[in-house]
Structure formats: structure tokens, C-alpha cells
Amino acid sequence: MTSRIKPTRSMFIHVNPVPTGLAQRRAILGALKQHGDIQVFKQLDDPSTFVSVASTHMSADATIRMSPLQFDYAPTTTTFTLSIFRAKPYLHKQVIDSSPLHGPWPAPAAPPSIATAALRAAIPKSMASRCLADWETGNEQLVRSVKGQTVDDHVKLREQRRRHRIDSVAAPLVGAEVDLPDDYVQRRGASRRRVDATTGKHRSTVSKSNWGSH
């Protein structure tokens, strides 16, 4: 499905003020859905920025033309302003593939641990017996790290296996930028008109407090 996502349907959204909870983020999504069907709505590293994918390029174009979009968030007196523009450089498939949690779960280690072998021998054969005997991939196998923090070795191993793919799979994302419209730049007072397409963070010398004050 990700291979069918066309760049013309992708939108980059900056929200002011910064949404501070799930309810406010859902309200932002609801405001976008009033102008067309939304298939993807994802918050980026910067909590004020989102990437979204409309169902059609015409719906995306219409939403972008309405920018800045404003709506009142009830029951408070907060008014959210959505600055929307095209996000062609955002590579959805590469971002998904680079996630440590994406893809099939790794096969159990061989030979099985003593705990797993004991569970396999004790649990009656059924459709669920294989899952019930899976000691390694649950939260049971917890150890204490050197710093005393609780970690799951299996999850950490999975993350390490995925990390080495980021450089090769998601390399096109490094340095990718989105051109910001002139009127948006003027409203925000940005000294540079580009934003990082991966994280959504503005590449500008303007401080974060200044962005929120406009």
C-alpha cells in the first residue's frame, strides 16, 4: 500500500499553538477530514508538525489552497491555526521500513532456553501452545543493565538489527527539505524558508518561542 502513495497527496502541516494531547490531535485530524478523506495522519518529531496523506490529489490541492485553516477547540477558547503545504520529499515507505518495530518478529533463538523448553513440555498441545511457551519475546526475560535500568534484551536485539538498515534504506531522507510558501515565511518571520522533511523541525535561526508568538 505504501508504494502507491503519490507525493501529490502528501501534505505537511504546522499547527499553532502546539497540540498537547490526544484529544487535540484528534480535533486537528477532524478539521482536516471536513475538507476531504484523510488516509494518513502522523505526528513528526516536532510536536507541532504533522504529515498527512489525502485520498486524492484533488482533495490535497483543495486543502492546501485553504491554508491557513483555523478552528476553535471546544470547550476551551483555544483557536488552532493549520498551515498546510505540499510535502513531496517525505518518503513514506523508507520511514516505515526504518522503524525498529516494522516487519516480521525474529525467529526464536536455537536452542531454546531452559524456561521455554520447560513450558513446551508442560503446556498441552493446542492452537495457543506455541505462543504460551514463547518465553523470550514477552516481558518475562528481563535483566538489569549496568545502570540499573530494566531492559528487554530481545527488543534491544531487534532494534539493533533494524538500525543498520536505516543508513541504506532511509538515506534519501537525510537533508530532505520542504519549501515553505512565501506568505507562510513572512507570517512566521523565518530567516530561512526550509523545513526538515523527516522530523518536521524548522531549519531557521528563529527561536521556538518566537514561532509560538506569531
pLDDT tens-digit series, residues 61-74? 888 888 888 888 88
In a domain, 183, yes or no: yes
Residue 78 and residue 9 in one domain: yes
Output the domain CATH number for residue 185.
Answer: 3.30.70.330
Q: How many domains does the chain have?
A: 2
Residue 86 and residue 178 in one domain: yes
The full DSSP string for 187-202 is HHT-SS-EEETTT--B
In a domain, 109, yes or no: no
Residue 179 and residue 163 in one domain: no
Residue 159 and residue 181 in one domain: no
Coil vs helix vs strand at 77: coil
CA 161 to each of CA 9, 62, 72, 152, 172: distance values in angstroms, whole numbers, following the listed order: 32, 42, 45, 14, 20
Amino acid identity of residue 42, one-letter, is K
So what's the pLDDT on residue 99? 72
Residue 145 scores a pLDDT above 70: no
In a domain, 41, yes or no: yes
Coil vs helix vs strand at 133: coil
C-alpha cell read off for 94: 523508507
Instruction: Give the structural domain span for 124.
Output: 114-169
Residue 202 scores a pLDDT above 70: no
Q: Average pLDDT, whole number, for the chain?
A: 70
Residue 161 and residue 177 in one domain: no
In whole angstroms, give the CA distance from residue 205 to residue 211.
Answer: 11
pLDDT tens-digit series, residues 60-109? 888 888 888 888 888 888 889 999 888 776 677 777 777 766 777 666 66
In the block, cell 499553532 appears at: 16
So what's the pLDDT on residue 67? 84
Amino acid identity of residue 102, one-letter, is H
